[in-house]
Structure 1
């Protein structure tokens, strides 16, 4: 005599649909003005994107906007900071970082998200604990949408990575927007040739 469980499993097996192939990835064409679209997207997110400048412009930006006593952590070769991440063992030691300078792997035009793999941030807390973010991104690494970026990255390879799309934001039911409530207060992206 069959139990109810066996009867249910038999009915499920009998009515199992045929396996179908997965659909192909749809294409979402974008116009050629990726830089302008990225700038518009990051502006909507509360950040800014600058173009046509090199690493010397980043150093000048630091000099113009921060004092020598601000802790600046640079993860980008050719841009100097005054904080050595190599000495950090506990992420809590990053709590006084004023500016973190990072290099992104891929940028997404539709939402201004930038992919930061773990090897380029070292400590997972860094992009969220710094008061201000400066991210360098090569123009030829801009893609139209998240579908295109996910085809380029292997999310399992580095073990960790994160998309960052501007400074921290939060809003309440009264529609009062606060920038930098629980993360960076600003984000400037330097789009590099």
Structure 2
């Protein structure tokens, strides 16, 4: 066993116990959890939303909106065993399509987990990101989202809102500085 493996094994044996998130009762605001409210915030962040009836509609929409895509990967196509592969094998992914668990109207964020995407780096290494979210999974505020998430069920989860952007360098807006250059959300239902 290498020293790296020994260190990782020791860390794995000494994980803290999972605990439930604190109650946020009474802290939620009056933001509506509607598709219209979510769309307004998402588009303000630079994202795009499409309402669809079935996931089978996604390839045609992507072909129209992003005609130059070369490599498109759906998280459902990646096997759980892929997690031990080199993440650099995904460096040329033009579009990643991942499932979202919860959408939040107040900030346009969507909760995704390692359980659904299988490879943590996928939504960050791709050029463009598409998230598929059931309409009934839209919530008004982050408070409700935390109540729904409860105790963490997987090793990794993240809220993603809008395409990656920063204005740190010379106060100039840069898209895709530390993640996808664009975000498209497909709401099913």
Give structure 1 regions of 4+ aligned residues with deviation exceeding 6 angstroms. Answer: none
CA-atom RMSD in angstroms? 2.2
> In structure 1, which of residues 124, 140, 148 is the aligned counterpart of residue 144 of structure 2?
148
Q: How does 1:94-113 map to 2 (within 5 A)?
A: 94-113=90-109
Matched, 1:115 2:111: yes
Distance 2:146 2:23 in 1: 16
Once the two structures are superposed, the pairs formed by residues 14-93 of structure 1 within 5 Å of their partners are 25-26=25-26, 27-31=28-32, 34-64=34-64, 65-67=66-68, 70-76=70-76, 85-86=78-79, 88=82, 89-93=85-89
Q: How far apart, in 1, do the equivalents of 2:52 and 2:117 lie? A: 24
* CA shift for structure 1 position 25: 1.9
Q: Is the 8 A contact 2:132 2:186 kept in 1?
A: yes
Q: Separation in 2 of the partners of 1:159 and 1:153?
A: 13
* 1:135 and 2:131 aligned: yes
How big is the shift at 1:75?
2.1
Distance in 2, matches of 1:173 and 1:92, equals 26
**Gaps spanning 5+ residues in structure 1: where?**
1-21, 77-83
The higher-RCO structure (CA 8 Å, 6+ apart) is 2
CA shift at 1:53, angstroms? 4.2
Task: Please give the TM-score of this superposition, normalised by the length of structure 1.
Answer: 0.76
Shift of the 52–126 alpha-carbon distance from structure 1 to 2, 3 Å rule, reads closer
- Cα deviation for residue 40 of structure 1 reads 1.0
Gaps of 5+ in 2: 1-21
Report if aligned partners of 1:132, 1:187 keep a CA contact under 8 Å in 2: yes
TM-score by length of 2: 0.78
Count residues in correspondence: 163
**Equivalent residue runs for 1:149-188 within 5 Å:** 149-172=145-168, 174-188=170-184
Contact 1:75 1:102 in 2 (8 A): yes
Q: Return closer, same or farther for 1:92/1:155 CA change in 2, 3 Å cut-off.
A: farther
Larger radius of gyration: 1
Contact 2:31-2:106 within 8 A present in 1 as well? no
Alpha carbons 1:53, 1:190 under 8 Å: kept = no
